[in-house]
Amino acid sequence: MTKKDPIENWKTLSLKQRKKSASFVINLNKNQKKAIADNIEDVHERVFERTDCLKCANCCTSIPPQISKLDVKRISKYLGLSEKQFLAEYTSVDSDGDLVFNQSPCRFLEKDNTCRIYEFRPKACRAFPHTDNDQFLNHLNLHKQNVQYCPAVYAILEEIQKRIKS
């Protein structure tokens, strides 16, 4: 696997190059899916060992996370707000009908790229970018979008593509 810093490498690429890295996920056959399932945990771990998310935070500045009822309960309690106050102040419903934070970049993102509500953050933030274990194969369409924003997704797609070819 290449030892390049995924964030610095991703910055050098055009949008077209980033999107191209995800094109192979469209027509995966059974054997390729099996090869992905066998390799993805290792690839995910190796890429994130080299990725300092505190130098990036693109997900927090570009993609408002979905928020569940449990997220609302947990975060509003932490902020000392009623659920109604929290919903009114921090959330909206997007064009897909999903509840999301109403501002992007996220209002909980601090200047040093840490998260002000890290321990209480939405489940969607914890799961992003959905490349761990069976998450990867269950979110193939999402990777095609996220590769535009997430350097780690790009690096994972590049590496997993090499492994299923070898």
Half-sphere exposure at residue 165, Cβ-oriented, CA atoms within 13 angstroms: 8
Cα separation of 57 and 68, whole Å? 22
Q: Is the peptide bond before 65 cis (omega within 30 degrees of 0)?
A: no
Pick between residue 44 and residue 129 the one whose CB is nearest to ligand SF4: 129
Pick between residue 106 and residue 157 the one whose CB is nearest to ligand SF4: 106
Pick between residue 14 and residue 29 the one whose CB is nearest to ligand SF4: 14
Residue with tokens 């449990």: 70
Query: In angstroms, what is the minimal distance from the CB of 46 to ligand SF4?
Result: 14
Provide the residue count of the chain: 166
Give residues in contact with ligand SF4 (CB under 6 A): 51, 53, 56-60, 65, 106, 108-109, 115, 117, 121-122, 125, 128-129, 149-152
Query: In angstroms, what is the minimal distance from the CB of 124 to ligand SF4?
Result: 8
Query: In angstroms, what is the minimal distance from the CB of 59 to ligand SF4?
Result: 3
DSSP 8-state code for residue 39: H
